[in-house]
Chain A
């Protein structure tokens, strides 16, 4: 289920040196969040534990870990993919579910209301579309098998 999203071969390069965690700001403020531990848990097949836990949602996606990794592992991208796996299996955060709804209806994460467009008009800025099916169409096309 996870083979296409997580490159396990690349993960085998991980030395467990902890450089990702030692440079991680969320880790400094919340020591329970440890990127190197997350990589380890993927390696030993404990995906369920990761996908049901809080940890994968605490990453700020700042890319510091990816930049620091001496083995060139894109740690931030792995965190994203874990979230996508959780999302796909229905174990997502309420926030993300709400964001998907807005994206499907408006095509944007920050939807534009009629009031927003009034403000823009007053400021001499071009109007924004208030609804769009583009994201819904892209999700559909993304899902279709070749």
Chain B
């Protein structure tokens, strides 16, 4: 795809409604780094919530988005790990010519040009790690974060399913997001339940299970004195930040762990203003480094 056209920004539905600080900081960070993100108003649902209803409809939703980006000659950058995983899985599935033909027939009925398979889909963090490069990030750092200690939470769909993401990171022991955060000079904590799921997907049906999953990680990072947990997905942020009080109550504990998006951490290091990082939307105040 033609990189001079910029990258099609796949916002998803949770980020622009539930995570303004993520969207604001991602857009401003991209500007700061010279990465052009282009809005595509025609994008629709990624298909993730429909997998439990109609798997073929979910496939069509994802394929439609891939086709729209391809039509514009742009690769895709996503912010939600769930969206990126579904789009990547669909891209993999559509390598099967027979399935692709069937999907393209349906896309025609939806008024979308056929999908040939050329578009790439990456999470913004993966893009920064693989394409932009850590050295280029380091060159943009104006305020090294050496005094800060972060606990990185990847989110299951950032690396899994591994085949869909081209195994760019090790699903059982991921490191790319830690490396990206450390490129700011900050330290990242190694902790035992790093791979634990945030549990948000079962909150509506099994709240106790969801809260226990969230509480284990909040406890672990609080006990280890993390300055903040760093996330890369709006759902994980809802589980750890929006739900932090009730999760704490469920185990008789009060947490006060700031939750930052990786884009806010990189924004801090590259000199974005608090407004440009959406800090006003942080529910748990994050102390500015001196």
Contact = CB atoms under 8 A, between A and B. Distances in A.
A63 B44 contact: no
Interface in A13-45: 25-26, 29-30
A105 interface: no
Contacts of B99: none
Contact of A138 (B20, B110, B199, B278): B110
A110 B13 contact: yes
A141 B109 contact: yes
B97 to A, nearest CB: 16
A61 interface: yes
B55 A29 contact: no
A48 B60 CA distance: 28
Contacts of B162: 67
Contact of A107 (B44, B160, B172, B278): B44
Nearest to B19: A110
A9 interface: no
Given A84-B52, A112-B16, A139-B54, A123 B24 contact: yes
A125 B23 contact: yes
A138 B58 CA distance: 9
Interface residues on B, range: 35 or more
Contacts of A80: 51-52, 55
Interface string A64-105: 101100000010100011011001100001011001100100
What is the predominant secondary structure among interface residues of chain A facing chain B? Answer: helix
A5 B16 CA distance: 33
Contacts of B50: 103, 135
A112 B55 contact: no
B213 interface: yes
Interface stretch (B118-126, B179-187, B202-210, B258-266): B202-210
A76 B59 CA distance: 16
B290 interface: no
B10 to A, nearest CB: 13
Nearest 8 A-B pairs (CB), nearest first? Answer: A63-B160, A108-B13, A142-B57, A62-B156, A83-B52, A95-B204, A62-B197, A110-B17
26 contacts: A25-B196, A26-B202, A29-B213, A30-B209, A57-B205, A60-B156, A63-B171, A67-B162, A74-B161, A83-B51, A84-B51, A87-B53, A93-B204, A103-B45, A107-B44, A109-B13, A109-B14, A111-B17, A112-B16, A119-B20, A135-B44, A138-B60, A138-B61, A139-B54, A139-B57, A143-B54
